[in-house]
Chain A
Amino acid sequence: GAVVSQHPSRVICKSGTSVKIECRSLDFQATTMFWYRQFPKQSLMLMATSNEGSKATYEQGVEKDKFLINHASLTLSTLTVTSAHPEDSSFYICSARLGVTLGSPLHFGNGTRLTVT
């Protein structure tokens, strides 16, 4: 069964509004979670590393004020797309490691398809 839960799976919003996406680790604690973005027919690109209890680390070129990340507990990270615009339409997906060793699988949520009209 799923070990990482992501919600919502789909969201349509109007330009200028904000959207929050939740990523939960099920039955395990994740001090670190990762947020990726995938454009149609393209690969996944890492956006940021979400750290429990501290600030997120953003990859180069990702606007931290645009994509707000909060990791308030050991099982929940949220990504808020602020003042969304049509170019923010994409597939957003989070991941977390189940297990304590580096060789443990990195599991992904089911993703959120965001459409900004």
Chain B
Amino acid sequence: AQKITQTQPGMFVQEKEAVTLDCTYDTSDPSYGLFWYKQPSSGEMIFLIYQGSYDQQNATEGRYSLNFQKARKSANLVISASQLGDSAMYFCAMREGDTDKLIFGTGTRLQVFP
């Protein structure tokens, strides 16, 4: 069965520092995709970054990068130069095969302090 695991319920980071949010996944499908979303207290889900299973290079989007280690089945999110506005819940999600259905992890609450 496909599964996403986020083992860090909460993380703290000081402003301007980098932080890594962990995500591991399990699937037997050779084709899959991995997403990270940010959910502020207002509730909306904000797309951050995507990594396809066949992508050779790690995805990057501004201050966000995805550390994709296929053999270890991990897709950690790295946020560089943290900002106070980065404080939110972060969800890792996996696309099932060639569908758009997402399986979500339990999330990590990130708090950035001055």
- Interfacial chain A residues near B30, Cβ < 8 Å: none
Count of CB-CB pairs between chains A and B under 8 Å: 59
B33 partner, pick from A43, A102, A109, beta carbons under 8 A: A102
Q: How far is the CA of A51 from the CA of B31 in the complex (A)?
A: 23
Q: Which of A16-24, A62-70, A77-85, A90-98 contacts B (4 or more CB under 8 A)?
A: A90-98
Total interface residues on A, CB under 8 Å, equals: 22
Q: Which residue of B lies closest to A6 (CB)?
A: B44
Task: Please tell me if the beta carbons of B35 and A106 are within 8 angstroms of each other in the complex.
Answer: yes
Residues of B contacting A7 in the complex (Cβ-Cβ under 8 angstroms): none
Write 7 A-B pairs (CB below 8 A) sorted by A numbering: A34-B100, A34-B102, A95-B100, A97-B100, A105-B35, A105-B47, A111-B43
Contacts of A42 in B (CB 8 A): 106
Bound-state Cα–Cα, A45 to B103, Å: 7
Residues of B within 8 A of A49 (CB): 101
Report the separation of the CA atoms of residues A34 and B45 in the bound assembly, to the nearest whole angstrom: 13
- Pick the residue among B91, B95, B98 that contacts A43 (CB under 8 A): B91
CB pair A110–B43 under 8 Å, yes or no, is yes
The residue on B at minimum CB distance from A2 is B44
Say whether B25 faces chain A, with CB atoms less than 8 Å apart: no
